[in-house]
Amino acid sequence: MPKLIFARPLDPHERASLETLMESDNEAVKQRALIVLLSSQEQYRIPEIAPMVGLHVDKVRKWVLRFNDQGMQGLQPTRRKPGPRGKFDSALCARILEIARTPPRDLGLLRTTWTLDALREYLLSRSVVDEISRESLRQILLRGKVSWQDNRARSEDVTRWLRQWRSHQPNRTTL
């Protein structure tokens, strides 16, 4: 039978701090405070708390154990480790978005729309970036509200030819 785990008994200062956290705007911290209060003060078991707070039992156990080990500090959000998030500054992201908004044909490429792979290859070949994953590129485009597939470039000749062709087609709708 698994060992029952509860949050350790609270001193009056910790209980007051947890109740203050319950009134905060940060939903995640509020949820963690509730987990500790239910476990410590009301002796609810972890499998009972999980459905109450909408978390998996493993996450509830994590917060109880973290509180037992680190106290109130263990309930605060941890700082994210440095990594790819800081890799592209706002100026570089703006440059990437500018290129993504430009039809590939205007840049001398023989394609009408971007794909993530084609845009990535263009950025790498022109040394806009030293390296970038498809996912990082997708995230930059998403944050910039740019669809890499919308830029269909047509020359004036192509537009004229299509209009001429469509005008002679019976029962065709124009695009």
pLDDT for 33 equals: 92
Contacts of 59 (CB under 8 A, 6+ apart): 50
pLDDT of residue 165: 75
Question: What tokens were used for 22?
Answer: 């319950």
Q: Please identify which residue in the block is written with the tokens 């263990």.
A: 74
Mean pLDDT of 51-80: 89
What whole-number percentage of the chain has pLDDT above 70? 84
Contact predicate 116/134, CB 8 Å: yes
The share of the chain scoring above pLDDT 90, in percent, equals 43
Q: What is the pLDDT of residue 64?
A: 94
User: Which residue intervals of the chain are DSSP H helices?
Assistant: 12-21, 27-40, 46-53, 57-70, 90-101, 116-125, 134-143, 156-167
Closest CA to 31 of 98, 77, 70: 77
Q: pLDDT band at residue 173, thresholds of 50, 70 and 90?
A: low
- Residue 85 or residue 169, greater confidence: 169
HSE-up (13 A, CA, CB side) for residue 120? 13
Q: Integer distance in angstroms from the first to the last C-alpha of the chain? A: 68
Give residue 77's pLDDT: 79
Q: CA 174 to CA 169: how far, in whole Å?
A: 10
| Residues constituting the chain | 175
* pLDDT, position 146: 86
What residues have CB less than 8 Å from 74, skipping those under 6 apart? 63, 66, 67
HSE at residue 138, side-chain half, CA atoms within 13 A, is 6
* Helical ranges in 41-79 per DSSP H: 46-53, 57-70
Mean per-residue pLDDT over the chain, rounded:
84
Report yes or no: 14 and 28 within 8 Å, Cβ to Cβ: no
Contact status, residue 40 vs residue 6, Cβ threshold 8 Å: yes
36-58 pLDDT, tens digit each: 999 998 889 999 999 998 999 99
pLDDT tens string 83-137: 555 678 889 999 999 999 998 989 999 888 888 999 999 999 999 999 999 989 9
